[in-house]
Amino acid sequence: MLEVTNLRLGFTAGKKMLVAVDGISFAISKGETFALLGESGCGKSATAQGIMRLLPAAGRVTGGSIKLEGEELLTLAEAEMRQVRGARIAMIFQEPATSLNPVLTVGVQIGEVLDRHCDLRGEPARQRMLELLRQVGIADPERRLDEYPFQFSGGMKQRVMIAIALAGEPDLLIADEPTTALDVTVQAQILDLLAQIQRERGMGMLLITHDLGVVAKMAHRIGVMYAGELVEVADREEFFSRPQHPYTQALFAALPEVSRRGMALTTIPGQVPSLAAMPAGCRFADRCPYVMPVCRENSPDWREVATSHALRCHWTGSTAAVADHTPRMGLGHLMPEMAPFLDVVDLKVHFPIRRGLLQRTVGHILAVDGVSLAISAGRTLALVGESGCGKTTVGKALLQLVKPTAGSVRLGGSELVGIKGKRLRAARRHMQMVFQDPFASLNPRLRVGEIIAEGMAALGLESDAAAQGMAVTALLKQVGLPEEAAGRYPHEFSGGQRQRIAIARALAVQPELLICDEPTSALDVSVQAQILNLLKKLQEELGVAYLFITHNFAVVEYLANDVAVMYLGRIVERGGAQEVLRSPKHPYTQALLSAVPVPRLGEHSAVIRLPGETPSPANPPSGCHFHPRCPKAIDVCRQRYPECSEVSATHSVNCHLIG
């Protein structure tokens, strides 16, 4: 159906042309999913934009051919190409927030596609829109259709994007990281939805992702991309049973898994070469453990290793990349019995809902509704749950960035709720936060050195400029960045490097507790491995305690000592990581764990489907908050909230079915 041959595209910078995609070829048949895999900066999204002819102003297709059912797309006039986009090829973009028009309602944006490509208007169009929103799992579509994108959560915006893409009933769908920012439950629903529509319509799919679990679940064939070139192409069976290219092997070795707990994850040294400095020969040579002199001189040719498996590599060995299996246990296992360093009891954060001219309070959003947790020094507590359940609000309330409504937060024996001014600043020295989006949380006008030193000066740690400079250098070294990084601005760094800067800034005031809010959610597996190794190493050296807010269960398995599962503002299950992950007792925890995509073949358990979506925290259900979605709900679940039942000395669950 789609045939891409020797596609070359680049971006003009001044008088130079920087090649971003250098001669890649692949084909996609009807009903087939072809996955493009690789780190950020490898040219995956540029390839998709090239196929759609949606390159930015500086982008140019410099050679090759793109044929859709035999028709050459590169020679079509723009007016003809507009007929192809949306009707024959549709695209789900990576960032839904920037892809949806903020001043148009969701209904208008879906209606545009129906009007242009399906000739549907008025009531038939509205019925089709409602059907599309139901199909992508959006509850109450009649109301949602007339709302604006800002009224939707990230996962909901992604579903709207999918509804828009599917509205024109395309023959080929290009999905660029369609589930990156989504919870495992929503991700499972969306992947199932795409697979079901693909089966019904025989739709081809180009899936761009860096999640090997999603690839194992969805792809029929996989192409691994590195620095603008395809380096390995194989069908799913071959790819997961015998990855051959050193780069592919390194991606697998970087995955955090319970089997690697206590060991340093394998990382890929260095980073993807910039477009302006592409090496001659093999582009992976500088980062490859098996590099030979020929690799730096000649670019390798394609060679077949099986009927459906080819790669470009001079190296012909087959041993997997050697991992650094140095034990890195953190300190959690050494200090299980210590008194909690952080003790939170019945924490509540309720936001008022104000309406009318006088802004009277008409209700409350119960974002956090009675959370209790404790963390000892040197241990890691993972707080998991779907988006909107209140995890980030808990983190912010501990730091008093959001004012708690009730409850107690004791840090090292001192009460934090209610303190202000100098006392609050002094307390913040002991705990710091690493935010989810490092680009948004770093000041773009300050150099990295100034960003890191700012906290020291504000909290009176180092007032002497020379001492500050030395401390900044030491911190940069500690997080694996060069000394000269201090003189550069945040926009000059990759996502993973920016996250390291955020960690260095948090460590600058020598805190005893770090609150990490999804610090690896937007990172490639190779960069994620570096950040996780860094966090492990810092815990080992400094004895820092972590509250790790995440929805990535692979990271929880690898890093956490204890786990607390949150649903709609309350903790429903807590215990040691092994207990909660190996034998989950709450139906919600069981559903979450069943939805995690496994980066191996044949290990996909049946996903427990949760009907509907998380209820609004402004109007939580009576009784157990989970009962409207729970497959095991009984009458008592609808009447009263369950008490806490002890499964073991360290494992408790709030569920009427236990106890």
Strand order in the sheet with 302-306: 89-92, 172-176, 204-209, 33-37, 221-226, 229-235, 309-312, 302-306
Half-sphere exposure of 572 (CA within 13 A, CB side): 30
More confident residue, 127 or 491: 127
Considering the chain, what is the average pLDDT of its residues? 88
User: What pLDDT score was predicted for residue 181?
Assistant: 65
Overall average pLDDT of the 216-222 stretch: 94
545, with CB counted inside 10 A (0-12, 13-18, 19+), is: buried
What is the spatial distance between Cα 34 and Cα 482, in angstroms, rounded to a whole number? 38
Q: In percent, how much of the chain has pLDDT > 90?
A: 54
User: pLDDT category, 327, cuts 50, 70, 90?
Assistant: very low
pLDDT at residue 539 tops 70? yes
Q: In sequence order, what are the residues at sequence separation of 6 or more whose Cβ sits closer than 8 angstroms to the Cβ of residue 56?
A: 11, 49
pTM for the predicted model, two decimal places: 0.84
611-649 per-position pLDDT tens digit: 777 788 888 999 999 999 999 999 999 999 999 999 999
For residues 427 and 399, give the distance between their C-alpha atoms in angstroms, rounded to a whole number.
9
The alpha carbon of residue 440 and the mean position of all alpha carbons in its chain are separated, in whole angstroms, by 16
Note the helical H segments in 119-244: 122-135, 141-144, 154-167, 184-201, 212-218, 236-241
Asked if 641 and 624 count as a contact pair (C-beta separation under 8 A), the reply is yes
- Which of 98-102, 245-249, 516-520 is predicted most confidently? 245-249
pLDDT average, residue stretch 300-312: 93
Provide the pLDDT for residue 605: 67
Q: What is the pLDDT of residues 39-93, one digit of tens each?
A: 888 889 899 999 999 998 889 999 999 999 999 999 999 999 999 998 999 999 8
The residue type of 522 is A
End-to-end CA distance of the chain, in Å?
A: 57
CA 492/CA 498 separation, integer angstroms: 9
Which phi and psi angles does 596 have, rounded to 5°? -70, 120
The residue-averaged pLDDT of 338-348 equals: 88
Residues 11/59, Cβ–Cβ less than 8 Å: yes
Is the model's pLDDT at 155 over the cut of 80?
A: no
Quote the CA–CA distance of 48 and 287 in Å, as a whole number: 26
Q: Work out the pLDDT band at 320, boundaries 50, 70, 90.
A: very low
597-610 pLDDT, tens digit per residue, is 888 887 666 788 88
Cα–Cα distance for residue pair 616/365, rounded to 1 Å: 8
Amino acid code (one letter) for 27 = A
Cα→Cα distances 314→105, 247, 262, 283, Å: 54, 13, 34, 12
Q: Please determine, for residue 332, whether its predicted confidence score (pLDDT) is greater than 90.
A: no
Q: Which residue has the higher pLDDT, 334 or 375?
A: 375
The pLDDT, as a whole number, for residue 461 is 75
| Cα separations in angstroms, 105 against 124, 151, 153, 157 | 18, 10, 15, 12
d(CA 11, CA 228): 12
Distance CA 482, CA 474 (A): 10
What's the sign of the alpha-carbon dihedral 45, 51, 57, 59? positive
C-beta pairs of 453-458 under 8 Å, 24+ apart in sequence:
453/508, 454/505, 455/505, 455/508, 455/509, 456/508, 456/509, 458/425
Could you tell me if 390 and 551 are in contact, meaning their C-beta atoms sit under 8 angstroms apart? no
Instruction: Report pLDDT for 338.
Output: 63
The Cα 190–Cα 184 span in angstroms is 10
- What is the arithmetic mean of pLDDT over 356-371? 89
**According to the model, what pLDDT value does residue 259 have?**
73
Output the CA torsion sign for 39, 90, 21, 290.
positive
Instruction: Report the greatest alpha carbon distance in the chain.
Output: 75
Asked if 169 and 114 touch (Cβ cutoff 8 Å), the reply is no
Dist CA 421 CA 402 (whole Å): 15
Give the tokens for residue 239: 């790819």
pLDDT category at 482 given cuts 50, 70, 90 is confident
Tokens of 471: 């401390």
Angstrom distance (rounded) from CA 273 to CA 63: 22
Does residue 195 carry a pLDDT above 50?
yes
469 near 16, Cβ under 8 Å? no
Closest of 552, 536, 441, 439 to residue 210, by C-alpha? 552
Q: Which distant-in-sequence residues (6+ apart) come within 8 Å of 63 by Cβ?
A: 6, 7, 8, 23
Distance CA 473, CA 121 (A): 62
**What value does the mean pLDDT take over residues 128-132?**
93
DSSP 334: T
- CB-based contacts of 303, cutoff 8 Å, min separation 6: 310, 311, 312, 313
